[in-house]
Amino acid sequence: MPESQTPSPVIVIFGDDEFTIKERGQQVFSQWQAQFGSNDAEIIDAAAGTVGEAEEALDQLEGALLTLPFFGGVKLIWFKNCSFLGEDRTAGSKDVTNKLTRLAEMLKNFDFKGIRLLITSGKFSATRTFYKVMAKIAEMEKHETISNKDRDWESKMEAWLIETARQNGKTLDPNACQTMVLFVGANLRQMNSELEKLIIYTGERTRITEQDVLALVTRGKQSKSFALTDAIGNRDLPRAIRQLDNDLTELKADRSMSEVGILYGIISKVRTMLLLHEMIEHGYVSGGKVNIPDGILPNDKKFNPALMHPFMVKQNITHAKKYTSAELVHAMETLLECNRKLVFSGGDPALALQQAVIDIIRRS
């Protein structure tokens, strides 16, 4: 909202990301309390499991709006964790719908002088009369879950990180931001926890660097998935076999994983090293960065190292130098044979993967 525009006395924070909604709601209410005092602050629990509980919460809200501030200042009302603004059974009941419609009519021309109203909710149906009225009189904030299935989840996470750090008086170096996204993935709760650690760790220093991230941030499941390919890149056979065994053991508990998935992760790693090895020989790599003319490789980060994460590119450049071009070509042939065994053979897939990893790492 532009600074010249008067802030709305009503704020509605809703969506499907429970964590950020709670965090943002607490932030807004705390700011109000710091600005207006907390003597006339009222929090109404709107998490209703039944129609009766929803009606009771709405009655409390209506009563709070119609009651003057006791101390003559500004009355702060938080209608917290509202669970009946969506399209579930409670929200769809006739009694709740009627009460919400009546409340909407009251709020249309309500004088909010001396009152601040905050509503935090889960899903909020845009077809409801109450939503349409709120959209006209309130400042609406929608918080959606960030999922690694989203096409641009990395940029969403980076934007969230930069803004949250700014609110805490910190700035993130671009590489630090990208590395945090790489390590933590699309997990806002975990990302918030890691950022809090960095804020405390850096103290009065305002800038958070990549070295801070490498020293402090816990690598999540997404980052751990790179452990096997990292060991292969470093030609560390004992660690590679140990990590492969860990991954194979994890298959039993995680149905989203498979032997073929492990194989494709290795294929992607070796393909990237082979591409970078050729780029190094042709002078397209300098200072740990890829400088390649447009149009030579596809505009897809799976096949174009120039579009990959800078941290991963630097690692892969180092790893590519540990192999010869012939060794990497042989590694791709080994992985093709391993793929045939996994797809068409009835043999032990774990043994096929172990043999492939050994064949790739050992020196010719």
The per-residue pLDDT for range 341-358, each reduced to its tens digit, is 998 877 799 999 999 999
- 123 and 86 Cβ atoms separated by less than 8 Å: yes
Domain(s) labelled CATH 1.10.8.60 in the chain stretch across 153-220
The per-residue pLDDT for range 225-253, each reduced to its tens digit, is 677 898 899 999 998 998 899 888 888 77
Mean pLDDT of all residues in 191-203 = 93
Domain(s) labelled CATH 1.20.272.10 in the chain stretch across 225-361
CATH of the domain spanning 225-361: 1.20.272.10
Least confident of 30-44, 97-111, 153-167, 243-257: 243-257
Strand partners, 140: 12
Asked whether residue 82 carries a pLDDT value surpassing 90, the answer given is yes
Instruction: Quote the pLDDT of residue 222.
Output: 62
Asked whether residue 6 carries a pLDDT value surpassing 60, the answer given is no
Instruction: Quote the pLDDT of residue 1.
Output: 38
Please spell the DSSP secondary structure of 123-184, one letter per residue.
Answer: ---TTSHHHHHHHHHSEEEEEPPP-TTSTTHHHHHHHHHHHHHHHTT-EE-HHHHHHHHHHH
267 vs 6, 256, 302, 303, CA distance in Å? 56, 18, 11, 12
Instruction: Among 38-52, 207-221, 290-304, name the most confident range.
Output: 38-52
The CATH class, in words, for 10-143 is alpha beta
CB count in 10 Å sphere of residue 16: 13
Mean pLDDT of all residues in 143-155 = 76
For domain 153-220, say whether CATH 3.90.850.10 is its number: no
Instruction: Quote the pLDDT of residue 3.
Output: 38
Q: Which residue has the tokens 């490789």?
A: 297
Domain(s) labelled CATH 3.40.50.300 in the chain stretch across 10-143
Instruction: Among 148-157, 165-174, 298-307, name the most confident range.
Output: 165-174
Mean pLDDT of all residues in 316-321 = 91
C-alpha–C-alpha distance, residues 68 and 113, integer Å = 10
Q: How confident is the model at residue 361 (pLDDT cuts 50, 70, 90)?
A: very high
Query: What element of type H or E holds 44?
Result: strand 41-45
- 294 and 308 Cβ atoms separated by less than 8 Å: no
